[in-house]
Structure 1
Amino acid sequence: MTTVKLTLDAVLNDIEGSMAAALVDYDSGMALGTAGTGVNLEVAAAGNTEVVRAKLRTMQALGIQGAIEDILITLQQQYHIIYLIPGQTLFLYLVLNKERANLAMARYKLKAFAADLKV
């Protein structure tokens, strides 16, 4: 098990193309930890909390059972991954440089980092 700071530092160092990362509580919309540059992570935490809440409401309205694993937002030059940590109201948020990142590997590693995280 690793701490929030160690996890976020490892995400930035071990996932190719990583620019910024945060651990966010989607009940409050607050970032519990941030690392990296290029994005205002406090604003991103609040905004992506709304994305998660909207998807959860939509799933409930549609009667879709199960949990969200992750949400991918593809921009012109970046990937943004919102990985919901199972059994908690937390998500790991990762910003990747689209030209340098391997999306499949990033998703795989992000899930592994989340499994080792201790809050």
Structure 2
Amino acid sequence: MNIDEMLREAMSVEGAVGVSLVDYDSGMTLGAQGGNALLDLETAGAGNTEVVRAKLRTIAALQLDDTIEDILITLQRQYHIIRPLTETHGSRLFLYLVLDRARANLALARLHLRRIEQALVV
């Protein structure tokens, strides 16, 4: 599965509002689908880069032998899921998926992202 296919697949998740693939070294969005006037995926991707970096620094400071599976941010009307991709994809990337909280099933969305990650070829 390539990046465009991955983004389309992520947008098929029930309640999906937008999705992007972000490089957390640079904060650059490599691809995005969805979004709207209230959801600028490039700005959100750059901002969430800081979230990922902060958590990675915390894991290192605590000397945890572990990795981030995903980061969930719950808002009143949305879920934001940040899923760092494994290093086997060759770079430091994360998927960022925004869901409409009223229409989404969080557990199914997380499962769907896990499957997408396994099929992704960067």
Judge same fold: TM > 0.5, yes or no: yes
Structure 2 partner of 1:106: 109
Structure 2 partner of 1:54: 54
Structure 1 partner of 2:3: 4
**Runs (5+) with no aligned partner, structure 2:** none
Specify the SS of the correspondent of 2:66. coil
Q: CA shift at 1:64, angstroms?
A: 1.5
Tell me the amino acid that sits aligned with residue 116 of structure 1.
A
Among 90, 102, 110, the alignment partner of 2:93 is 90
Among 15, 19, 22, the alignment partner of 1:21 is 19
User: Would you identify which runs of 4 or more consecutive aligned residues in structure 1 move more than 2 Å?
Assistant: none
Q: CA shift at 1:63, angstroms?
A: 1.5
Q: CA shift at 1:115, angstroms?
A: 1.0
Specify the SS of the correspondent of 1:99. coil
Structure 1 range deviating more: 32-41 or 71-80: 32-41
Structure 1 partner of 2:29: 31
Tell me the amino acid that sits aligned with residue 61 of structure 1.
A
State the TM-score, normalizing by the size of structure 2. Answer: 0.92
Identity of aligned residues (%): 54
CA distance in 2: counterparts of 1:73 and 1:29, whole angstroms = 18
CA distance in 1: counterparts of 2:30 and 2:120, whole angstroms = 12
Tell me the amino acid that sits aligned with residue 63 of structure 2.
G
CA distance in 2: counterparts of 1:29 and 1:9, whole angstroms = 21
**Runs (5+) with no aligned partner, structure 1:** none
CA distance in 2: counterparts of 1:47 and 1:65, whole angstroms = 26
Specify the SS of the correspondent of 1:9. helix
Aligned length: 117
Tell me the amino acid that sits aligned with residue 28 of structure 1.
S
Q: CA shift at 1:66, angstroms?
A: 1.1
Specify the SS of the correspondent of 1:91. strand
